[in-house]
Amino acid sequence: MSITVLTVDGNDLATDLGLIIDSRISGWRDMMGVQRKFTRVPDKIAQQQLTVQVQPAPRRLIVRGILEATTVAALNTNRDTLKYRLNLGELTVTFDDEPTRYYKAYPDGPNPIQVTGIHPALTQLAEEVAISLVCYDPRQYEISATSVGPFTADTAHALGTAPVGASFAVSGTTFTLTYKDSGGLTVQTFTITSATGTSPLTVDMENQTVLDNFGVKQDQFLTGGDFFLLDPNDGDYEASSWPTVACASSVTSTYNKAYL
């Protein structure tokens, strides 16, 4: 399917503003990049060594199309509205070839919207636009969340192709979440010791925080282990073999599958 529609925060810009997207789009189908840090090897000329610190690189989306209207005044209004909508902070961006997935994007660069008039520019009812967006989180997400549980025993968590942090709602005040690869080997544990009356607790692995039943941050409840991401590399995406999570207390996990 060719891309004809750009949806921002649930608003179809073709229907609302007459923005028709053409085929000159880049970035949305590229593989997620990484930033690798190198250090120079002592006493070695022009040699470098890769460190263990590898961070995701921002994804940049370039969207080009035609902004149309029935009158010059309407075209001016549509242009103003487009600028306004793209200046509201983090944007949820979806293309119509993958309507079930979205990106988290921000306007990018000194001129995130570039407008080129079509001659005669002052009386034309259409103009070319180029929209530059950056996704500091380069992952693509499923719009519909995945919920697993409630469970206690080792339970598989189906994933996309990228790691993602789940939110765990746990009934209990003292418990350990145990994360294992698909072969049953423990990758990470996460132990909580909290006060009576704070259950159920929510462990947000993506944002690395613990919330009590009033929604108050209680990160001091973490007494062992560390936060972890559900990682498809701890299983086999092609074989649908997934990592597992277990907890002696009843737990329900929620997350949006992520893709490279």
CATH classification at residue 163: 2.60.120.860
pLDDT of res. 103: 93
CA-nearest of 184, 167, 173 to 228 is: 167
pTM attached to this predicted model: 0.82
Ranges of the chain whose pLDDT falls below 50: 1-3
Asked whether the beta carbons of 126 and 118 are under 8 A apart, the reply is: yes
Could you tell me the two tokens for 89?
């902070």
CA-nearest of 68, 229, 52, 211 to 157 is: 229
Domain count, the chain: 2
Backbone angles phi, psi at 5, to 5 degrees: -130, 135
pLDDT of res. 5: 67
pLDDT of res. 39: 61
Residues 115 and 172 in one domain: no
Per residue in 47-77, pLDDT (tens digit) is 555 555 567 789 998 888 889 899 999 999 9
Domain boundary among 77, 103, 138: 138
Domain boundary among 110, 138, 166: 138
pLDDT of res. 1: 35
User: 10 lies in which domain range?
Assistant: 6-28+58-138
pLDDT of res. 203: 96
Asked whether the beta carbons of 56 and 136 are under 8 A apart, the reply is: no
Length of the chain (residues): 260
